[in-house]
Structure 1
Amino acid sequence: MKLKLTYITITFLFTLNVLSQNTYVFLGSYNRDKTAEAIQVYQLDTVNGKLSKITSVKDIVNPSYLTISPNGKYVYACTDTKTPNAGSISSFEFNPQNKSLTFLNSQRSGGENPVYVTVHKSGKWIANANYTEGSVSVFPILENGKIDSIAQNFQYIDGSTHKERQTRSHVHSAVFSPQFDYLFLPDLGADKIRCYAFDENKKQPLIETQNPFTKTDLEAGPRHFTFHPNQKWGYCIEEMAGQISVYNYENGVLSKIQRIATHPDKIKEGFESSDIHISPDGKFLYAANRGKENNIAIFSIDENGILKNIGYQSTLGKHPRIFALDESGKFLVASNVLSGNIIVFKRDSKTGLLKKTGKEIKMENVSCVQIRKI
């Protein structure tokens, strides 16, 4: 009888925990001014797609990119982005019960114009990419969520062939491998995807490898990168070329198997591909295009990882820099920088296609969106 009651109690507590979880949408911006709301947090209604604002923070400048800690307690942001002779990484504590987001601390980012920050699955490390000077930095995270002083910083000077945009390195993102034992750095300026081994137990976790980079096509401008849920394939979106390169992946090594356009063949210029994500079921890939198109390109993923374009969805705004899928794969939220609007789309799990749902919200110069169930 005691064992039966214990089982029932555990089941009840587990069910209660699941039911008490909510889905939150975190928005960053190029606010330019400390008096303007820099980060806003909304709750997403997972039935109708409605967004309800719960909190925001001011007194920071240009939180261009956000990421959430594995336990959902902390938000880390690239701050002082696009600010001359500046650049920082900032931490915030998120309390959904109190509906609060509280600033904790900042550290210099180790390079001008930080544009991407990511957290190790252990919750003990963050890595950020600095665009203007072309560098990567790694910081330990303290137990209270604050960012410790910088542990490593690598800077690069090599560029590529485009005379205006590739005079030197411009690292645009920092993405951990599926096992979190490698860190990949798409470098728009050098046409390379750089790679380091990552040992979370070392004081300086980045370790040079025998394959320090994968060379992309010239003037591709690799920007963001994502891995398939099966951990076998990697997908890199190329900002300048408007292409997606598909790679087989194994033990820190990328081997290209396909390259496919993110835009219709009739579009030859005026595009800037930006972000890329895969549905949780691994069946569809989504890629954002800015400029003339302002849409999400939708691809099906074949059994061997190959992509096939199946359609496009307008983001109903201008300049979609970042978009995100919720953990269930039911919703896609797109942020449009120039039009300052955020659109929620409902995703058809069978066809992969998108349809606007709920009511759009406004946030001036919105630059980033992240979604997390907490």
Structure 2
Amino acid sequence: MERSDQVLFFVGTYSPEGEEALFLCTLNLAGGEMRTLEGTKGIENPSYLALNGAGTILYAVSEKDAGEIHAYSVDPGTKALTSLGGQSTGGGSPCYVSISQKEDYIFVSNYSGGNVNVFPVNSDGSLQEMSSQVRHTGQGVREDRQDAPHPHSIIPDSSGERVMVCDLGLDQIIFYRMEGGLLTTHREVNLPPGSGPRHLALHPSGKWVYSINELNNTVTVFTNDETFGDLNILQHIPTLPEHYIAGSDDTAADIHISSCGRFLYASNRGHDSIVLFTIDDSSGLLTAADWQTSGGRNPRNFAIFNNIMLVANQSSGTITSFIIDADNGRLIPTGNELGVSAPVCIKFL
């Protein structure tokens, strides 16, 4: 099925359980053309996905009031998905899933539930019952978006001994120690009131961590203290152009770093763009270099494979492809798009 000029990717969407919601697609690396190969039903709103290192197991949250996390085996030949069952997340609107470094645990954050979970992984990739749950308390300064805790992402730190949780409602990044399947609070890192931290990107060097802050449209740069499990703020930088007047629809969404470590990208909903920052190789500080239209409305998640970026435009129902200029990091539209209903997450195989 796989060819040297093709790469496969999965797409998660906002779709009802009775409709196809998870899609297997293919990308032509030369020209950026995309095709849908297969759709999978049986899960509602699989809004975030994670693949194990071998690409044999896919995990998908089901973002609904009674949240769930599902596991799927990926067929070695056809790459078709077979359900391995799921577990309740004990909270509403799970919106992020990640995998421990040893791939023996799955982490989930529940946006409206205000809690984060740990699930042990069986040898076949299926999930055991929840081994740990932590519920956040408090609120932020924005009554419309921060009336309660809203954990938006949970990822292992570079040491593998801790996980970091971005809580949009509390303006905090919370470190938890991970021991024997249990989470215990380690440290809280405070961001400016009304920031709304959403996702994190770890620099390949391990020196710096970057957070995309949804509510005030900024990226925060941190030095990464791996030994003590701490982040120290170096910089806040806007994701929107200097003279652009942001409206209520303008919210930042996703953040990724190129494999070379020279470029950082973030998505702007409302402005409907991907911003390019250059990363100073000695300080980790960012400089805004360019804004490229996403080719659709409300670019949510995006993903990078070699010199190609795919952007999931949720509201326009399209995935657009771009070539990344190796010299300056700028995005060059390929002119190709793939129609997918409400795409919100892309994961390359």
- Structure with the bigger percentage of strand: 2
Compute the RMSD of aligned alpha carbons.
Answer: 1.6
- Report the 3-state secondary structure (helix = DSSP H, G, I; strand = E; otherwise coil) of the residue aligned with 2:127: coil
In the alignment, structure 1 residue 312 sits paired with structure 2 residue 287: no
- Name 1:283's counterpart in structure 2: 262
Q: Retained in 2: the 8 A contact 1:51–1:358?
A: no
Distance in 2 separating the partners of 1:332 and 1:182: 29
Cα shift readout 1:194-223 (whole Å, capped 9, x = no counterpart):
111224xx142x2332xx210000000010
Give the gaps of 5 or more residues in structure 1: 1-17
- Name 1:340's counterpart in structure 2: 317
Alignment of 1:40-55 (within 5 A): 40-55=23-38
Alignment of 1:1-374 (within 5 A): 23-31=7-15, 33-79=16-62, 81=63, 83-84=64-65, 86-199=66-179, 202-204=180-182, 206-209=183-186, 212-251=187-226, 252-270=229-247, 271-291=250-270, 293-303=271-281, 304-326=283-305, 328=306, 330-357=307-334, 359-372=336-349
Q: Could you tell me which amino acid in structure 1 is paired with residue 310 of structure 2? A: V
Q: Could you tell me which amino acid in structure 2 is paired with residue 254 of structure 1? A: L
- Report how far residue 96 of structure 1 moved: 4.3
TM-score using structure 1 length: 0.89
Distance in 2 separating the partners of 1:355 and 1:35: 37
Cα shift readout 1:76-106 (whole Å, capped 9, x = no counterpart):
0111x1x33x100001111241241111111
Please tell me whether Structure 1 or Structure 2 has the larger radius of gyration of its CA atoms.
1
Q: Retained in 2: the 8 A contact 1:175–1:226?
A: no
- Report how far residue 52 of structure 1 moved: 3.0
- Report how far residue 301 of structure 1 moved: 0.3
TM-score using structure 2 length: 0.95
- Report how far residue 126 of structure 1 moved: 0.6
Give the gaps of 5 or more residues in structure 2: none
Distance in 1 separating the partners of 2:225 and 2:216: 26
- Report how far residue 35 of structure 1 moved: 2.8
Q: Retained in 1: the 8 A contact 2:174–2:185?
A: no
- Report how far residue 69 of structure 1 moved: 0.9
- Report how far residue 47 of structure 1 moved: 2.2
**Aligned residues with identical type, % of pairs:** 32
Distance in 1 separating the partners of 2:162 and 2:37: 36
- Report how far residue 22 of structure 1 moved: 6.0
Distance in 1 separating the partners of 2:3 and 2:316: 36
Distance in 1 separating the partners of 2:292 and 2:252: 14
- Report how far residue 109 of structure 1 moved: 1.1
Distance in 2 separating the partners of 1:354 and 1:222: 25
Distance in 2 separating the partners of 1:347 and 1:257: 27
Tell me the number of residue pairs that the alignment of Structure 1 and Structure 2 aligns: 343
Change (3 A) 1:153 1:311: same
- Report the 3-state secondary structure (helix = DSSP H, G, I; strand = E; otherwise coil) of the residue aligned with 2:309: strand
Cα shift readout 1:141-196 (whole Å, capped 9, x = no counterpart):
11111111000000012111112211110000012112322211011000100111
Q: Could you tell me which amino acid in structure 2 is paired with residue 51 of structure 1? A: M
Q: Retained in 2: the 8 A contact 1:221–1:239?
A: yes
